Amino acid sequence: MAFSRVAISRFPLFLQSSVSSLIPFSLSPFMLSLQPICRFSLSASLSTQESTPLVESASPRTSNRWKPMCLYYTQGKCTKMDDPIHLERFNHNCSGELKLNAAEFKHIRSQQLDFFLVLDLEGKVEILEFPVLMIDAKTMDVVDFFHRFVRPTEMSEKRINEYIDGKYGKLGVDRVWHDTSIPFKEVIEQFEAWMAQHHLWELGGHLNRAAFVTCGNWDLKTKVPQQCKVSGMKLPPYFMEWINLKDIYLNFYKRRATGMITMMKELQISLLGSHHLGIDDTKNIARVLQRMLTDGALLQITARRNPDSPENVEFLFKNRIR
Ligand SMILES: [Zn+2]
């Protein structure tokens, strides 16, 4: 969760009414026969944030306006990849918006790591969303991404419904959450397979020449260990260290950043998508990371757990955000 003190208005009223007018469409018999799929476009992110052209156009008919991600696609579950209307409406390319020009590379320095895994969890009580973007440290391109909605383990169905309605309902993505969410334990199994496939990790080990990048310490210092306890799991060894981008920001620019929004404002990066939709926050944090790399920052581990007493975290930068 990329905390910030700035409230972002989302989902204008005119769209809320258009959303409710779409609902009967979702209940047509034809649509109900297709499960689980992108049953109707409301299911994907409905953020209306307009911004500079970002999405690569596939055809002259395709406008280059910003469009929300298909959240079935991000989880490997979109079955409408041959539907031109769906493709026109939802973004199915996670890397297009994070593509940089060669001209932006003049200050970049060589990094100690080959890949950055930008992670921004959602969910205060239990983890609800687990999005990771894999960024190449040299080219700064998005190599791949891993995104799952997470179903709480210890909550009643009633509580889950209220919780999801409150959090994702207002972003218009509660249905896709219900269609796709799986327990944290399964998410971690799939994430480990994904990391192994990219040679980032081998069973039982730490990350290979890669590190998690988070906005703050909360995700890996607090939330993952809490969720591991709830889910009856041991804390995996690859979560033992991380890079808190806010500490790098403070030490590189000599300015305090309270959150993602502050960093984006100061660096004049426009916000894309819905704030507090994890996959969108992850992309926005990745854009801050890219800017810091192009400005010449060196990304180093900022926090590490003691291998003998993992509950103790050592912070490696003297100047840091507390
Ligand atoms: Zn799709």
Total structural domains within the chain:
1
Establish if 11 belongs to a structural domain: no
Point out the catalytic residue in the list 97, 122, 129, 241. Answer: 122
What pLDDT digit, counting tens, does each position of 93-146 carry? 988 889 888 777 888 889 999 999 999 999 999 999 999 999 999 999 999 999
Distance of CA 76 from the midpoint of ligand 1 (Å): 9
What pLDDT digit, counting tens, does each position of 242-276 carry? 999 999 999 999 998 889 999 999 999 999 999 99
What pLDDT digit, counting tens, does each position of 185-217 carry? 999 999 999 999 999 998 888 999 999 999 999
Its pTM stands at 0.81
Distance of CA 21 from the midpoint of ligand 1 (Å): 21
Which residues are 304's β-sheet partners? 241, 314
- Residue 214 tokens read as 């988070």
The residue with tokens 């591991």 is 228
What CATH number should be reported for the domain holding residue 181?
3.30.420.10
pLDDT of residue 75: 98
Establish if 225 belongs to a structural domain: yes
Q: Whole-angstrom Cα distance, residue 42 to residue 56?
A: 22
Q: Distance of CA 201 to CAs 9, 144, 194, 280, 306, Å?
A: 39, 15, 9, 25, 20
Backbone angles phi, psi at 131, to 5 degrees: -110, 135
Establish if 94 belongs to a structural domain: yes
Domain that holds residue 116: 29-315
